[in-house]
Homo-oligomer: A and B are copies of this chain.
Amino acid sequence: MNSPTNIGVFDSGIGGITVLRALARKFPEENFVYLGDTARLPYGAKSPTTIRKYTEQNLKFLMTKNVKAMVIACNSASTQWSEPLFENTPVFNVIQPGARAALARSSELRIGVLGTRATIESKSYELALKSLNPDVQVFSQASPLLVHLAEEGWIDDPVTNLIVYRYLQPLLSQRIDTLILGCTHYPILQNSIQRVTGQQVELVDSGEALAEDLEQAFVAGRIKRSENPTRSISFYCTDNAETFATLARRLLKDDGIDFENFEMADLQDIR
């Protein structure tokens, strides 16, 4: 039996493609398998128990795709899976790298977190930040409408600016100097968010920070580097395949990533 060769990545939908893109750029020789659980999104309004169950099903699905490591791109799912292994395969989530990146950029140690209701209620970022530096002050805000504004395509829109302003006002009044974009959808609204915060607030995209964790795992030998220089990326989603493919192609078009290997996944078979 050959040893597993792929890095699995899953998100509740399309947002995690930005995470995949960051990983694909940093590791041009690695093979990836991406799963977007579009039938069951959004995760951010679901209960911890349900998010955990869906996360396990998604990891089980990826395990059928010959993976040597798995990445939970979805922040809401990341809050419900902190274990380093799933059936002996390394699992990475976005919380720790996001917290580290925020602390590295923050001069005043006043850090804001925007996320789904599930992510904010879990206090995962707050705990991760304080375990890394007990002096940090964390100000969190659930901002569930932002996911839907991003999905509606109301980007750089006056209504979006107004809603972003309402969510951010309590954080800005606390004089945050750094803001964690704690949901894979939020980088899509980055312009609107930065306009409201002003340039003096650093925005942190947890997905980008995650690539560092993988690099460390390669260096430490926890994951074997790919021996095959012709890389492949396969895509799976659970619903709305056409919308998913259109958006994914748009997000990946400048990276020359092949979009041939695209299939529907039936997670009901994975339990």
A residues near B (Cβ < 8 Å) are 39-40, 45-47, 49-50, 144-145, 148-149, 151-152, 159, 162-163, 166, 239-241, 268, 271
Contact = CB atoms under 8 A, between A and B. Distances in A.
A241 B46 CA distance: 10
A47 B38 CA distance: 10
Nearest to A51: B239
Q: DSSP class of A's interface residues: helix, strand, loop or mixed?
A: helix
Oligomeric state, in copies: 2
B159 A149 contact: no
B144 A240 contact: no
B166 A159 contact: yes
A148 B152 CA distance: 12
Given A40-B40, A166-B159, A239 B47 contact: yes
A149 B151 CA distance: 14
Contact of A239 (B46, B145, B240): B46
Nearest to A238: B50
8 contacts: A39-B46, A39-B50, A40-B40, A145-B148, A159-B162, A159-B166, A162-B162, A268-B271
A145 B153 CA distance: 11
Given A40-B40, A268-B268, A46 B159 contact: no
A47 B152 contact: no
Contacts of A271: 268
Of all A-B residue pairs in the complex, the 3 with the closest CB atoms, nearest first, are A148-B148, A50-B239, A47-B240
A271 B268 CA distance: 10
B144 A148 contact: yes
